[in-house]
Every structure is written in structure tokens, then in C-alpha cells.
Chains A and B, each alone.
Chain A
């Protein structure tokens, strides 16, 4: 597609439920990133994929969070046993290569609300 696509755009879930957020990066982009943005804050890094593998998952807050990218394109962020503190905008981004200076293109985000 023309840009990074994220679904759903909005998700309301009950505390304790399981949630999946999907990201479709720009075609041909090998690097994919997940960030989380809470109200009034800047985006916070979660995980970085180069191809199919998670090259850096140091930002995942705990073992309730997991992400996959099985075919090196679409990625899914999975959150188990959601808590109210997980409410945030989850941003996906992609870049053509994995070099830190490459331009990173962001999607519009998935707004997650845990009630």
C-alpha cells in the first residue's frame, strides 16, 4: 500500500482480555517497529524487526506483550491479560533498511482502550 496500515484503528476491550493489533508495512520495507504512545507523552519504543526476526525487543514492558512477523511483512502485536495501564496508541512504523539513519514511516496507530 501507499503507507503503513494499522488495524483496528480503535479497540475497546475489557481488562483481562487478549488483544491483537495488526500492522501492514510499506511494501519492500524490511525493517518494522512497534511503539506505544500514552496521552501527553512521546512514542516509546517496544520492538524492532529486521525481516522475520526480532532484532531488538528491549522495549517490551513485560511478558504479556509479544510480537511476530512470520513472513517478513505483516506484523502482529499481541497483548495478553490486558490491564488498564495498557491503554495507549500503538504505533507501527517501517523503513526500507535497518540503518538508524533510514527514514522511518509511521502508521496512524491503533487506539487501545482497556476498561
Chain B
């Protein structure tokens, strides 16, 4: 992937509210798409990924992302956030023929009580 753009550097939201973190990518070839999460003082962890098949993918903790090829987007959503979701979220893409992930600059999700 040539680039991955996360337009929102910070997203403040109240607990139990819905949230959407936006991600757009550019690539001249097919890509695989990922969302990683980094909790405070921890390493990056894979949240979910799209490789093929259903364009809607889900994580075990209630997040989902939808691959939209026409809009070159892979936005992350959760219908109701918890305080514990406070973290930095990174969108990433890799061309199907390569191994090097291209990351966006990250979105800091701040869940307030």
C-alpha cells in the first residue's frame, strides 16, 4: 500500500456512545487491511483483519470494520464503548504480494465517563 490515512488524531467520546474511527488507504494492487490497538504502556495488538471474503469483520470485544473497495476505506466502529477501550488505534495495510505493513498515524480514542 502506498499510504494509509487516519484523518482523526483524537476522538473523545462518552462511555456507552457509538464511535467510528476512519481509515482510508491508497494502493495500486490488492491489499489486506488491519486494525491494531495499543493500550497504555503496552505493545501493539491485532484487533481485527480483512483478508478476503465477507467485507465485514469483527473482533472479540465488539469492534467491527467494513472493507469498502470503491471508497478505499476500512473504518472501525463500535456501537457502545467502554472506559477500557481508551487506547491508540492504528489502521494498517499490506499489498498482497509484500510483507511490509504500512501504518496510519493513529487515532487516540478517549472514552470519558
Contact = CB atoms under 8 A, between A and B. Distances in A.
Contacts of B74: none
Contacts of B45: 106
Contacts of B6: 42
A43 B34 CA distance: 13
B100 A48 contact: yes
Interface residues of A, number: 28
A55 B90 contact: no
Task: Determine the interface band of chain B, counting residues with CB < 8 A from chain A.
Answer: 20 to 34
Interface string A30-58: 01010100001111110010000001101
A106 B99 contact: no
Interface stretch (A12-20, A63-71, A79-87, A95-103): A95-103
A68 B92 CA distance: 25
Given A40-B105, A42-B90, A100-B32, A56 B43 contact: no
9 contacts: A31-B99, A33-B99, A40-B105, A41-B105, A56-B100, A91-B43, A100-B99, A106-B43, A106-B44
